[in-house]
Structure 1
């Protein structure tokens, strides 16, 4: 008697489990917390934060310049005049205010 040899249930279960594990690890490598998509999101966030840092550095440099120009050792009279006009609402005697 010859019996046809067909794969048993054990082989089917082994390949099913192996396939499911492969699918799971592939999904985790692409979509997971440490996957490719998360890496792209982190890179985009890093670029946005770098742009913000450059903008803030420029603002700090501008504020340091204004602070230095109003210090006791270096007094910029034009800047002092501008600050007095904006903060105190002062005008000179030869100016006309139009509202």
Structure 2
């Protein structure tokens, strides 16, 4: 007499729960708040913000340079003339405006 060995209900239940937990944790590791995809998004955002920071630091350095060149201690007459022309619309007497 041969007896067929069916797995017991406890073993089937154990492996079903283990498989479900494995699927859940795998999904969480890939798609979750701290998963691989979120990590890639954060790295891309960090790179974009680093580029923005470098661009803004360059703009700040340029503004500091212009401010220093128009300060009381150091006056760049060419820059002053350029600013007067662009902001106030001033012209010299010997210039002709073409529109």
TM interval, short-chain normalised = over 0.9
**What is aligned with 1:11?**
11
Q: TM-score, normalised by structure 2?
A: 0.95
**What is aligned with 2:23?**
23
CA RMSD of superposed structures (Å):
1.1
Count residues with an aligned counterpart.
99
Q: TM-score, normalised by structure 1?
A: 0.95
Query: Offset of 1:19 from its aligned partner?
Result: 0.3
Determine the C-alpha separation between the residues in 2 that align with 1:85 and 1:4: 99
Determine the C-alpha separation between the residues in 1 that align with 2:2 and 2:96: 116
Query: Offset of 1:2 from its aligned partner?
Result: 5.5
Q: Give unmatched runs, 5+ long, in structure 1.
A: none
**What is aligned with 2:87?**
87
Determine the C-alpha separation between the residues in 2 that align with 1:54 and 1:80: 28
Which contiguous aligned blocks of 4+ residues in structure 1 show a shift greater than 4 angstroms? none
